[in-house]
A and B are shown apart, each in its own frame.
Chain A
Amino acid sequence: MDKKARIFMVDDDTDLVDIVRSVLEAAGYEFASASSATEALDIIDNITPDLIILDVMMEDLVAGFRVVNQLRNFELFPQNKKYENVSILMMTSIQQQTRMKFSGDAGSRLLPIDAFMEKPVKPRLLLEKIAELLHR
């Protein structure tokens, strides 16, 4: 039997995390979560995720960007090179509140994530996106 993929969700909205947990576990994924960027970076080595679902605004306005920076800037954080192939799916409602065009910037030098989805996200579309990211 295939190993279950492990999804690590970083979001401070505990109700949303509960929903996504239910949806993903029902679809056969393992699930873990953290409610802040600081907590995520503290525990990620214990989680060893296959994919990260990441919010942006948590304990501060750019908390999610800080996680991306630490997980993708291998010069500053060489210990995180092991996460190079772990997909980051940014899921946030703040795209339009900022000057950034997340969907256009995803995958760029400015925003080195693998995909972006703006909340609200339909559970079915989230499952499709996760499957796509895990199998590419």
Chain B
Amino acid sequence: MRRPAPDDPSIDGVTTPEYRLINHFFHDFKGGLSTVIMCLDALRDGIEGAVTPGQDKWLEKAERNCQHLVSLIDDFRDLTRMEDSSHQLESEPLDPGAMFERLSTRVADDASRRRIRTAFDFVDDLPGPRAGSPLVGRILERLYGVLVDCTRTGGLVQTTVRIEGTGPVPELVLVIESEGVESDAELLDTVFDKFRQTGAGLQLGRGYTMLFCRAAARYIGGDLQLAPWPGRGTRADLRLPLATTGT
């Protein structure tokens, strides 16, 4: 017979004052947004009748922006947990080849809305399916979101991907170059500072996304650095271990 275990520490954990506070904070934000997203989804599915292509276009925009807010809430929440080392490192099956196929298609679709070109250059021997942190996919998704956003219209986002290391935890090494925002190295590093406006025009410093990407990369044993791409824009060097460490 299946029975709950009320004395389990993971249930006790949610009743402490800190968890009560953080639970309510994120629950209230995310709960409201989730309801909006479900409304939009239901409308797009035709719950009140057929939706015209024009109506669907606006509903899609609203839904995409709500999803973005949900993602920001998730990132901010997990950032707070990484800072006190309480974020649990999980492991999931990860297929680098399939992941990059999906990622490159999605990035190209997003970029094409702003007439931005994308180019991906992969090594031929990406490792096969293995264990990895769910943070890997989130970091890549968030990082590309910012880099595409700060690329000038008509510009290029190009990526080279290679694998370094042959041990049990090889590293995925990405160099992502974006045409548009070029700043000196010192200023670029301030992008990762909390509560700091990094200056007009430096869109890379908006919000918490870059901060989250670096913190998450380091939390799983990787790193993220930004550097100028002389005369062109910005270069991001991202290293991510392909097997979860510390579990």
Contacts and interface: CB of A to CB of B under 8 A. Distances in A.
B14 A61 contact: yes
Nearest to B74: A96
B1 interface: yes
A68 B3 CA distance: 9
Contacts of B235: none
Contact of A109 (B3, B14, B20, B22): B3
Contacts of A110: 4-5, 8, 10-11
A109 B3 CA distance: 5
Given A23-B47, A123-B41, A101 B33 contact: no
Interface stretch (B23-31, B142-150, B168-176): B23-31
A111 B3 CA distance: 8
Contact of B38 (A19, A65, A108): A19
B4 A69 contact: yes
Given A23-B42, A61-B14, A61-B15, A97 B23 contact: yes
Contacts of A122: 38, 41
A44 B6 CA distance: 22
B61 interface: no
Nearest to A94: B27
A75 interface: yes
B82 to A, nearest CB: 13
Contact of B13 (A96, A98, A111): A98
Interface string B209-240: 00000000000000000000000000000000
Interface residues of B, number: 41
B90 interface: yes
Nearest to B26: A97
B14 to A, nearest CB: 4
21 contacts: A61-B14, A62-B11, A72-B4, A74-B1, A74-B3, A75-B3, A93-B26, A93-B31, A94-B23, A96-B74, A96-B77, A96-B78, A99-B9, A99-B86, A110-B4, A110-B5, A112-B2, A121-B34, A122-B38, A123-B47, A124-B41
Given A73-B3, A110-B5, A124-B45, 17 more contacts: A13-B31, A26-B47, A72-B2, A75-B3, A93-B26, A94-B26, A97-B22, A98-B10, A98-B14, A99-B9, A99-B13, A100-B10, A119-B30, A119-B31, A119-B34, A121-B38, A122-B38
Interface of A: 13, 15-16, 19-20, 22-23, 26, 57, 61-62, 65, 68-69, 72-75, 93-94, 96-101, 107-112, 119-124
Interface of B: 1-6, 8-11, 13-15, 19-20, 22-24, 26-27, 30-31, 33-35, 37-39, 41-42, 45, 47, 66-67, 70, 74, 77-78, 86, 88, 90
